[in-house]
Structure 1
Amino acid sequence: MLGRLARSFATKRKTTQLKDMLHSNELQFIMEAHNGMSAVIVEEAGFKGIWGSGLSISAQLGVRDCNEASWTQVLDVLEFMSDRTSIPILLDGDTGYGNFNNARRLVQKLEQRGIAGVCLEDKLFPKTNSLLDGAKQQLADITEFSKKIEACKEQASDKDFVVVARVEAFIAGWGLEEAVRRAEAYRQAGADAILMHSKLSEPTEIQAFMKEWNRRHPVLIVPTKYYTTPTDSFREWGVNMIIWANHNIRSAVKTMQHTTKLIYENQSLVPIEKDCVSVKEIFRLQNMDELKKAEDKYLKF
Structure 2
Amino acid sequence: MSDQNPRLGILLMVITMFIFAMQDGISRHLAGTYNVYMVIMIRYWVFAAFVVTWSSIRAGGIRRAASTTQPFLQFFRGALLALEVVVMVIGFVRLGLVESHAMFATYPLLITALAVPLLGERVGWRRWMSVAAGFVGVLIILQPGMGVLSPDAIFPLASAGMFALYGLLNRYVARRDPSTVTFFYTGISGAVVMTLIGVWFWEPMTAGDWAWMLLLCASSILGHYLLIRAYELSEASAIQPFAYLQLAFASVLGVVVFGDIVRPNVALGTAIVVAAGLFALLRAARPSAR
Task: Give the TM-score band, short-chain normalised.
Answer: under 0.3
Which of the pair is proportionally richer in strand? 1
Structure of greater Rg: 1
**TM-score of the superposition, structure 2-length normalised?**
0.24
Which structure has more relative contact order (CA 8 Å, sep 6+)? It is 2
Which of the pair is proportionally richer in helix? 2
